[in-house]
Amino acid sequence: MSIVLTENHYGKSRVRLVKVERHGDRHHLTDLNIDIQLRGDFAASYEQGDNRLVLPTDTMKNTVYTLARREPIEQIEEFGLRLADHFISRNAQVSAARIWISQAGWERIAVGGRAHDHAFIQGGAERRTAVVDRGRSSVKVRSGISDLIVLKTTGSGFSGFVRDEYTTLRETQERIFGTAVKADWSYRGDENSYGTYWSAVRSAILETFAGHESLGVQHTLYAIGEAVLDRVEAIEDVHIAMPNRHCLLVDLAPFGMENPNEVFLPIDEPHGLIEATMRRG
């Protein structure tokens, strides 16, 4: 029997990094989770156990900490590019490197109306993300945001959908709309304003979600994608995923009470999952 190794890659997953940059009494905090993946001439390590071309994954972890110490991290996309460049430039056997970074948000604690110099509070589940794909002759960067949890109590309905013998869902013109937005996007050229663009995309998502008269999750998702591409000319395409986190109206009739859209049961599972990619035509 002939066996062919058709594809392989390896790396280090979930490298945790917290860096404190101290500027006198004013400190800057960065909290990252990093995955590293290398592709290249590693077939011998799989087929014969020959590790002469294998860079240990422990070395990858140590590289993260060393590069973080040498220079300010700045934007996570820039740090991802530095890591990818390091692995490509120092290892001839590596044909491509992928760096995935997730950043937790920490905000300064307000004390007496002033942001504290070195005390922070975590801002919730929301994370900023970046994926850097570096080859020998090309590089691609995708920025993103995940677990941006939003909810509005009006301005959302769902009606006119297909019905069959298994349909029990009632049409509604008034419902709670909750979701955890996940979005990622690529750029039209070489960019270095990643932080500015990320903030603009986040604002577009929040403002559109709040103001859009939604006829369904798909309807609002499309409006968000339109807003992102309209506001940030540097973005080429955007992928958006929006799980529909339901709040079910509780039936209070058994207790002799009406429920005029006030008391709900939130459920996480099962939930609808709506996704789409939009790009410039």
> Which residues have a catalytic role annotated?
12, 57, 246
Residue written as tokens 């290249």?
40
**Which ranges constitute the DSSP H helices of 10-112?**
43-47, 57-70, 76-90
Phi-psi region of 14 (alpha: psi -120 to 50; beta: other; left: phi over 0): left
| Strands 235-244 and 247-249, bridge-based pairing | unpaired
Report helix, strand and coil shares of the chain as percent, to nearest 5: 25, 45, 30
Two structure tokens written together for 171: 């049409």
Q: For 103-170, what is the HEC assignment?
A: EEEEEEEEECCEEEEEEEEEEEEEEEEEEEEEECCCEEEEEEEEEEEEEECCCECECCCCCCCCCCCC
Distance CA 75, CA 196 (A): 10
Which residues lie closer than 8 Å to 199 by C-beta, 6 or more apart? Answer: none
85 φ, ψ (degrees, to nearest 5) = -60, -40
| Residue 127 near residue 73, CB atoms below 8 Å | no
Residue written as tokens 């990619």?
277
Two structure tokens written together for 113: 């109306």
| Residue 131 near residue 144, CB atoms below 8 Å | yes
